[in-house]
A and B are shown apart, each in its own frame.
Chain A
Amino acid sequence: MAADSALLLSLVEEYVSGLQDSKAKDTATAVKNGEFTVLQLVEALGLSLTSSQPHTRARGVQLLSEVLHECYGGLTEKEVEVLLVFYENRLKDHHVITPPVLQGLRALTKCTVLPPGSAVSMLRSLFQDVHVQSLMLTERAYVYNMLINLMAIREAELKGLGADFVFGFVQSMDGERDPRNLLLAFQIAKGIVLRGYDLGKFTEELFEVTSCYFPIDFSPPPNDPHGITREELILTLRDVLTGTPGFAEFLLPLIVEKLDSDVQSAKLDSLQTLTACVSQYEHKDLAEFLEGLWASLRREVFQTSSEKIESAGLAAVTAITSCLSRSVLNSDSEDSLNTFLELVLKDCKHHLCEPDLKLVWPSAKLLQAACSASFRASCVITAAIMPSLIEQYTNRAQCSQRRTLLEVVQKFLQSVKTCQTSESEDSVFVAFRPSLCSMVFSALTETNSSLQVTACSVLTSLAQQPGLLLDSDIELAVDHLTRLLLTEQDHTVSVAVVECAGALAELHPAAFISNFIPRLKTEMFSEPIDQDNNRAESEQLSHHAVRQRCLSALAAVSIKPSVVQESTPVLLQVLSAAHTGGFSVEEVVLACRSLQRIAEQVPDSEETGRCFHDVIIPRLLSLALQAALQGEDGNRSPLLEEAVLSSMVPIISTSCSRLQPTLALQTASRAVSLFLDGDVSFLPDNSFPSNIQLLKQHSWTQSQMVCLLVGCVCSLPRSMEVPRVDELLSALEEMSCSVLHPLSYTSAAKCLSGLLNKKPHGDSLDSRIHSTMKRVCSELDSSSSSVHTQAFTLMIWVAKALLLRYHPLFTTLTDKRFFSENSAKLVQGFNAAPQEKKPNFLKALSNIVNKLPKQVQLTELPALLSLLLEALSCPDLGVQLSTLSCLQPVLVDPPPSLIQQLEALIGRLLALTGSPDMEVRISSLRCIHAVSQFPEHEILPVRARVLRALARPLDDRKRLVRREAVHARNDW
Chain B
Amino acid sequence: MSGGTTLENANPVIFQRSGERLLADTDADEDVHDPIDDREIFDILSINDPEHPLSLEELNVLEQVRVKVNDAESSVDVQFTPTIPHCSMATLIGLSIKVKLLRSLPERFKIDVSITPGTHASEEAVNKQLADKERVAAALENSSLLEVVNQCLTNKST
Contact = CB atoms under 8 A, between A and B. Distances in A.
Contact of B27 (A958, A970, A971): A958
Contacts, number: 39
Contacts of A967: 155
Interface stretch (A201-209, A541-549, A560-568, A949-957): A949-957
B103 interface: yes
A970 B108 contact: no
B158 A971 contact: yes
B108 A957 contact: no
Given A954-B106, A955-B106, A966 B30 contact: no
Interface string B99-112: 01001111110000
Contact of A963 (B33, B43, B103): B43
Nearest to B44: A966
- Which residue of A916, A951, A962 has the most chain B CB atoms within 10 A of its CB atom? A962
Contacts of A962: 34, 36, 40
A969 B30 contact: no
Interface in B91-132: 100, 103-108
B153 interface: yes
A805 to B, nearest CB: 41
Interface string B36-75: 1000100110000000000000000000000000000000
B105 A960 contact: no
A957 B33 contact: yes
A951 B30 contact: no
Contacts of A959: 27, 34, 36, 40
Contacts of B34: 957-959, 962
- Which residue of A917, A960, A966, A969 has the most chain B CB atoms within 10 A of its CB atom? A966
A898 interface: no
B100 to A, nearest CB: 7
A569 to B, nearest CB: 46
A918 interface: yes
B133 to A, nearest CB: 19
A970 B153 contact: yes
A798 B30 CA distance: 42
B158 A954 contact: no
Interface in A915-930: 916-918
A970 B43 contact: no
B76 to A, nearest CB: 13
Nearest to A972: B103
B103 A969 contact: yes
A957 B27 CA distance: 10
A916 B31 CA distance: 10
A957 B36 CA distance: 9
A837 to B, nearest CB: 29
A970 B44 CA distance: 10
Given A957-B33, A962-B40, A969 B27 contact: no
A876 to B, nearest CB: 17
A958 B35 CA distance: 8
Nearest to A966: B104
18 contacts: A951-B107, A954-B104, A954-B105, A955-B106, A958-B30, A959-B36, A959-B40, A960-B27, A960-B28, A962-B36, A963-B40, A966-B44, A966-B104, A967-B155, A969-B104, A970-B100, A970-B104, A970-B153
Interface of B: 27-28, 30, 33-34, 36, 40, 43-44, 100, 103-108, 153, 155, 158
Given A954-B105, A970-B100, A970-B153, 11 more contacts: A918-B28, A918-B30, A957-B33, A959-B36, A960-B28, A962-B34, A962-B36, A962-B40, A969-B104, A970-B104, A971-B158
Interface of A: 916-918, 951, 954-955, 957-960, 962-963, 966-967, 969-971
